[in-house]
Structure 1
Amino acid sequence: MFKKIGPGVLVAAAFVGPGTIAMCTLAGVRFGYALIWALLVSILATIALQGMAGRIGVVTQTGLVDVVRGELKNPWVKKLVIAVVLGAILIGNAAYEAGNIGGATLGLEQLFPQQQLMPFYPLLVGLFIFVLLWFSNYKILERIFVGLVALMGVCFVICALLTQPSISDIVQGMFVPRPPEGSLLTVIALVGTTVVPYNLFLHASLVKEKWKSDNDLKAVKWDTAISIGLGGLVSLAILVTASAAPIDDVNNVLDMAKGLEPLFGKMAIYLMAVGLLAAGITSAITAALAAAFVVSSCFGWSGGMRDRRFKMVWGFVLFCGVFFLSFDIQLIQVIQFAQMANGILLPIMAILLLWIVNRKSVMGPYKNTWIQNIIGIAIVGFSIFLGAKSIFKVIGWL
């Protein structure tokens, strides 16, 4: 099984970042186990969409943007779609990179609370990620991610088990959808932090680094389901911990750890800090890689991960994250723009993905079945709803 795990683990690591940890924590503290069903729906939707993206990558042996460019015949429509995708991914990921590096920094500060060193932690995290990306190839990154996701999973699952949660309440929250009053935006945020548009590009580009034949489609399917399922387990563990812990309110995941400290001592803080550090590093790497893959596809670069232009793009995204944190720039407007960009991009990419995966000229005998299309249409409808809510929230209509 572990030999089959590949690009899917990078996708799982990408969505289980500081944002997801914070959102699952808030959902658990405010609404208990009641929103576990929303997390389950988002995981299943992610498996479905990422499975389509992975299938496209293996069958076509190109990135998602390359396929879109080839299939859109109208030059104006093609330019518009490419511009929206390029702008949303590049600027959005550059903005969110600060949150990823900030999450890793927060974990590092709890593990090594030396006041004189703390201002340099964002730079230290950025340099560590830079070295990993510059000197690693896909196979090395894959192994690193398997280790980091395993570490993250162990930390958060142990925290969940320590709280001795109610199994019956978990099962009820998972299979009986009853959104509490005032939980709509939290439901949207839970789905939005899991079904991430840039992961579709990342997955389609990475599968061709590992698999070269249509015969590998079964391996892609298992890789996607197992890896994202494990990522979902981590998210579930965080939500369960926050639900069961004796906490009234939190501002970040480490507040939850401090709430657990009287029961379990310093171990709770150390487990949460290590998990947050691993989550921040993995999400920072994947956000930078996804932006580089998208830009490469938009401009037709063919050098792969070793291309200097490819490295310049992920270097720019990484630099933006460190820069925003190091100089204490107010991130709220930048992050709001990134939210709006992702809100626009998610339904567009879901529609394009569904369109491409049904094109016989692209997929041949591996195009969607009618069951897959029903699932895809349902996800597209929800992504449009999610995107509209995300945009309205940013511009202040909600």
Structure 2
Amino acid sequence: MTDNAGGESTGVTERIGGYAADMGPSWVAGAIAAGPATIASLVTAGATFGYDLLWVVVLSAGAGALAQYLAMRLGLLTERGIVAVVEDTLGEPWAWLLVVDGVLAAGVAQLVIMKTVATVSATVTGVDARIWGVVWAVILALGLAGRGYRFLELAAKLLVSLVVVAFVASLFVVPIDYGAAAQGLVPAVPSGGALVAAGILGGAVHITLITMHSYTMRSRGWTREDYGTASFDVGASMLVAFGIYSLAIFLVTASVLTSADLSTVGAAQALGPLVGPSAKWLFLLGLWGAAVSTLGGNTIVPPFLLADKLGWGTTIEDDRYRWLLVATALLSAPGAFIGGAVLGQLVLVLALGTVGTPFAIAVVLYLLNSGAVPDRNSTLANVGGLALLLVTGTLAANFVREQVAGGVGPLSGFVLAVAAVLGVAILGLGGKYAAEEVV
């Protein structure tokens, strides 16, 4: 029996080792999730509310892993891009709605992420941020259009791993009140905290992460036979790496910072006089790596969605897709010229994405319970998906309510209009599914 047990243990170890060696697609999603917008939300939450929103931070990792798991199932079971599946199953208007929703969220985020990358680069090197914006745009265009997806995947795994190490290391030079942190595990949203909570959750559960996953798996060549590897990939990247990353940043800022009126770079610099230069540089280098990895991952989202809708290939073997990559990369350069404090812009970008995310979740759930897939969702997966839809929908509604309460201006009016259209679309999907089940 000892030999059998040893053999089984060796087999499990080898299987896990094989999974770890083959990981990739979900790490690209993790690279986007573990970005400056998430850092901005965590910094704002910790500096403004202390440990009160720790429960949202913990929830975000589990919710992010669940969202990616559902997206992974759809991609593997159909072995197609999500836009093509939506068009064949629901029709062209639904496909265009998903494309517009995803491209809008990713496009706005791209500009603000570029601003962050350029700002951090300028802080570290002393070279003007606007110059860095142009430099990074060219690097993106050459790297993605020249070497394609595998270049991005390798960079994502390397950068996310280094970022996690940097932020975890900062925990050892910052005093943490673990008793107060434990109290923050009790769910409660403090006054004025809805936007920040939406931003934290939006970093892990975002329409760009959900829609891109079927394409990154296709780029890797994964099929239904790779289900175990794909599941391990999601758990390792979103649940473990992203969870540790978010927890470390939140605990550091909640323990030390007392002002939310900081840029992401300002938060790093504020740590210096409070807890020493080591914390400052660990945080700053972590932010830099996170910003670069997120910029690269986010760049591929609009080309994936548009190319699939237009019937083009979604790899650089198709020159049309290659030029979409180049255009998206170069159009991100103006982000470095945007004025204003980047912290509030990053939180707002994530929260805006949260408004579009419930629709993407509803689409994935519908498809996973339709004839689009050979094996319908299990009851447990559906319960988890509906819970995810409820949580993201509630946070999105709270965000819209806060925006409208401040007066309906151009921005809040736009958010309200988008939320209304997508809300009607979600109800339409629910009604369509109910009617089909009754028949």
The alignment's TM-score, normalised by the length of structure 1, stands at 0.89
Deviations 1:154-208 (A, max 9, x none): 111112221131333334423x223333323322221123211011111111112
Note if contact 1:104-1:277 (Cα within 8 Å) is conserved in structure 2.
Answer: yes
Note if contact 2:28-2:153 (Cα within 8 Å) is conserved in structure 1.
Answer: yes
Q: State the shift of 1:152 in Å.
A: 1.1
Note if contact 2:119-2:129 (Cα within 8 Å) is conserved in structure 1.
Answer: no
The residue aligned with 2:112 is 99
Please give the residue correspondences for 1:249-260 in structure 2 after superposition, counting only pairs within 5 Å. Answer: 249-260=260-271
C-alpha distance 118-50 of structure 1, shift in aligned 2 (>3 A): closer
Q: How many residues align?
A: 387
Query: Kindly, what percent of the aligned residue pairs are identical?
Result: 20
Query: Which residue identity is paired with 1:368?
Result: N
Query: Which residue identity is paired with 2:103?
Result: L
Q: State the shift of 1:369 in Å.
A: 0.8
The residue aligned with 2:253 is 242
C-alpha distance 264-338 of structure 1, shift in aligned 2 (>3 A): closer
Between structure 1 and structure 2, the one with the greater Rg is 2
Note if contact 1:59-1:214 (Cα within 8 Å) is conserved in structure 2.
Answer: yes
Q: State the shift of 1:397 in Å.
A: 5.4
Higher RCO (CA 8 Å, separation ≥ 6 residues): 1
1:232 aligns with 2:232: no
Aligned partner of 2:394 among 368, 385, 390: 385
Aligned partner of 1:30 among 40, 43, 48: 48
Q: State the shift of 1:105 in Å.
A: 1.4
Q: State the distance in 2 between where 1:119 and 1:290 align.
A: 24
| Poorly superposed stretches of 4+, deviation over 6 Å | 329-332, 334-341
- Which consecutive unaligned segments of at least 5 residues does structure 1 have? 73-77
The residue aligned with 1:49 is 67
Note if contact 2:25-2:233 (Cα within 8 Å) is conserved in structure 1.
Answer: yes
Aligned partner of 1:314 among 310, 325, 329: 325
Q: State the shift of 1:97 in Å.
A: 0.8
The alignment's TM-score, normalised by the length of structure 2, stands at 0.81
The residue aligned with 1:216 is 226
C-alpha distance 108-341 of structure 1, shift in aligned 2 (>3 A): closer
Which deviates further from its counterpart, 337-346 or 143-152? 337-346
Query: Which residue identity is paired with 2:150?
Result: K
Query: Which residue identity is paired with 1:17?
Result: G
Note if contact 1:95-1:321 (Cα within 8 Å) is conserved in structure 2.
Answer: no
Note if contact 2:195-2:351 (Cα within 8 Å) is conserved in structure 1.
Answer: no
Q: State the shift of 1:376 in Å.
A: 0.9
Which deviates further from its counterpart, 183-192 or 349-358? 183-192
- Which consecutive unaligned segments of at least 5 residues does structure 2 have? 1-16, 408-439
Q: State the shift of 1:246 in Å.
A: 4.7
Please give the residue correspondences for 1:83-98 in structure 2 after superposition, counting only pairs within 5 Å. Answer: 83-98=96-111
Q: State the distance in 2 between where 1:127 and 1:92 align.
A: 22
Deviations 1:114-143 (A, max 9, x none): 4xx443111112122222212223333221
Q: State the distance in 2 between where 1:231 and 1:197 align.
A: 17
Q: Secondary structure at the match of 1:301?
A: coil
The residue aligned with 1:75 is none
1:370 aligns with 2:383: no
